[in-house]
Amino acid sequence: MKNDMLENLKRYGQEHLLTFWELLSDLERCKLKDQIESIDFSLVNYLYANRNVPVESLTLADLASDPPAYKFSTVTDSVSCKQRKPISSKEAAAAGENMLRCGKVGAILVAGGQGTRLGFNHPKGMYPIGPVSGASLFQIHFEKMLAVSKRYGYQIPYGIMTSPATHNETVEFLKQNNYFNLREDDIFIFCQGTMPAVAIDSGKVLLESKGGIALSPDGHGGMLKAVTRKNDKGISILDNFKQRGIEYLFYNQIDNPLVQICSPEFLGYHFLSDSEFTCQVIRKRFPTDRVGNIVEVNDRLYVIEYIDLPEAVACQTNSDGSLKIWAGSIAVHIFNVEFLERMSKIVNSLSFHIARKRVSFIDISTGKQIKSDKENAIKFERFIFDLLPFAENAVVVEVDPFNHYSPLKNVSGSLSDSPETVKNNITALHTDWLRKAGAIVEPKIPIEISPLFADSIESVKQKIKAGTVFNKAAYLSTPSRN
């Protein structure tokens, strides 16, 4: 077994991975063998050899213009958007509701991240973010899904993408919580793939232990391969969705508790514009805002990462003073199922991006673990938004952060995207709903509304009498009758 692996590894200059083979237990040897056999070393060597090739987006920046876009009904800015054809918010909402009533919509939740940056050594979805209830991100998303499913009369199939680092704990957590009352048969938990980390100076694949390779998730673009991977019965997640009549997939990431899951208006813009891939965006706060920039080049949409957008281009403005490159992606999408299926059959339809990171590794000469104090490794990731140029009639929908976007990314005490700012934003939104429904909410009172109680101003109005006073922390959680 060792000799066969060694011969293969020598072809790629990676034979060092077996340095400690004789010191390993049988179980450790099996693990290392499986890891080695899962890696496409020819691809790894190719990616390393081309690590300094300029990214395509650098050549696109000078040609970029604003993408075709629609404004969500809650957006109040007056800046006009370029549109391929006029669609009103009412038309969009009606079309989206019909898609849901006909049972054509499924959903994907990307939840492979850990809460390490938050000082939380568990899957980020388990983080307690409810400002009053302490509800986890998973609970908030699952209850939103349950509320939508009840409203439209069918359980929307829900795919949950994990990573190797979060999979087992996520599965156990959701089981312990009875999937927050979603049916287990309608939940599809699947694990994204991995890629090895390689040394910056040599391209050698790193060992994280004597019997284990330094692997990391292959990025949110790994979703495409993961949902089309066949199980031992020859059926993929996407096959399962198609068998249920699903034609469209709503996609979001775990860290944003304000996302409006399967929003009819958002779905309707996608459907009525004949789009295969539609993205939610926010208007950038300033030219160098740290978001992916969605632009149009030659009638196709692309994402230019903020680190790849030249500042001179980022600062360009229109005659009214608004930014030319304005659309910041927030990782909320809709895909046509047929589009994903088509793209999955194209080899390397998603290219890999290079990220230089600090990675702990085993020194081959000493067998000791080294914790680097500088960037010493390259990781390879795929991004799902790189499918945009292949999509027909792709469009974006501008949403406002107040109603749609407050990601949990940074450690407590940070000025933005921290537990405190996210909780404050949840309270601000739910307080606004109550006040617009006629309730009286005293200042600085923590307020939280479960999606099962209400998920909009209109549904709050059906539950709360005008004049109701809230003068202490409140969590409204009575199951919705919608």
pLDDT in tens, 370-388: 999 899 999 999 999 999 9
Tokens at 29, concatenated: 């040897």
Q: Is the pLDDT of residue 455 over 60?
A: yes
Segment 164-180 mean pLDDT? 97
Segment 425-452 mean pLDDT? 97
Segment 151-165 mean pLDDT? 96
Q: What residue type is assigned to position 26 of the chain?
A: D
At residue 348, the pLDDT reads 77
Cβ(268)–Cβ(99) below 8 Å: yes
Q: Is the pLDDT of residue 479 over 60?
A: no
At residue 57, the pLDDT reads 61
At residue 173, the pLDDT reads 98
At residue 91, the pLDDT reads 98
Q: Is the pLDDT of residue 176 over 60?
A: yes
Q: Is the pLDDT of residue 128 over 90?
A: yes
Cβ(110)–Cβ(161) below 8 Å: yes
Q: What is the DSSP string of 158-213?
A: EEEEE-TTTHHHHHHHHHHTGGGGS-GGGEEEEE--EEE-EETTT-PBPEEETTEE
Q: Is the pLDDT of residue 84 over 80?
A: yes
At residue 242, the pLDDT reads 97
Segment 141-161 mean pLDDT? 97
Please give the model's pTM, rounded to 2 decimal places. 0.94
Please report, rounded to a whole number, the percentage of residues in the chain having pLDDT higher than 90. 85
Tokens at 325, concatenated: 């490159």
Q: What is the dihedral of CA 243, 246, 249, 254, to 10 degrees?
A: -70
Q: Is the pLDDT of residue 330 over 50?
A: yes
Please report, rounded to a whole number, the percentage of residues in the chain having pLDDT higher than 70. 98
pLDDT in tens, 180-216: 999 999 999 999 999 999 999 999 999 999 999 999 9
Catalogue the long-range contacts made by 462-469 (C-beta closer than 8 Å, 24 or more residues apart). 464/434, 464/437, 464/438, 464/439, 465/438, 466/437, 466/438, 466/439, 467/438, 467/439, 467/440, 468/434, 468/438, 468/439, 468/440, 469/439, 469/440, 469/442
Cβ(277)–Cβ(335) below 8 Å: yes
Q: Which domains does the chain have, with CATH numbers?
A: 1-38 (no CATH), 54-409 (3.90.550.10), 410-482 (no CATH)
In angstroms, the CA 184 to CA 154 distance is: 14
DSSP type of residue 128:
B
Report the helix count and the strand count for the chain, using DSSP H and E.
15, 25
Q: Is the pLDDT of residue 103 over 70?
A: yes
Q: Is the pLDDT of residue 1 over 80?
A: no
Top-confidence residue, 313 or 397: 397
At residue 52, the pLDDT reads 87
In angstroms, the CA 171 to CA 184 distance is: 11
At residue 257, the pLDDT reads 98
Could you tell me which of 55, 71, 352, 426 has the C-alpha nearest to residue 197?
352
In angstroms, the CA 95 to CA 291 distance is: 30
What is the chain's Cα-based Rg?
Answer: 24
Segment 284-292 mean pLDDT? 89
Average pLDDT, the chain: 94
Q: Is the pLDDT of residue 482 over 50?
A: no
Cβ(378)–Cβ(355) below 8 Å: yes
At residue 168, the pLDDT reads 97
Q: What is the dihedral of CA 121, 125, 130, 133, to 10 degrees?
A: -90
Q: What is the DSSP string of 416-474?
A: SSSHHHHHHHHHHHHHHHHHHTT-EE-TT--EEE-TTT-SSHHHHHHHS-TT-EE-S-E
Q: Is the pLDDT of residue 310 over 90?
A: no
Q: Is the pLDDT of residue 481 over 70?
A: no
pLDDT in tens, 10-31: 999 999 999 999 999 999 999 9
DSSP H or E run through 49: helix 41-49
At residue 65, the pLDDT reads 87
Bridge pairing between strands 105-110 and 158-162: parallel
Instruction: Provide the b/e sequence for 262-287 (b: ≥16 CB within 10 Å).
Output: bbbbbbbbbbbbebbbbbbbbbbeeb
At residue 232, the pLDDT reads 87
Strand segments, DSSP code E, in 229-376 are 248-253, 277-283, 293-297, 300-304, 327-336, 352-357, 361-362, 369-370
At residue 197, the pLDDT reads 97
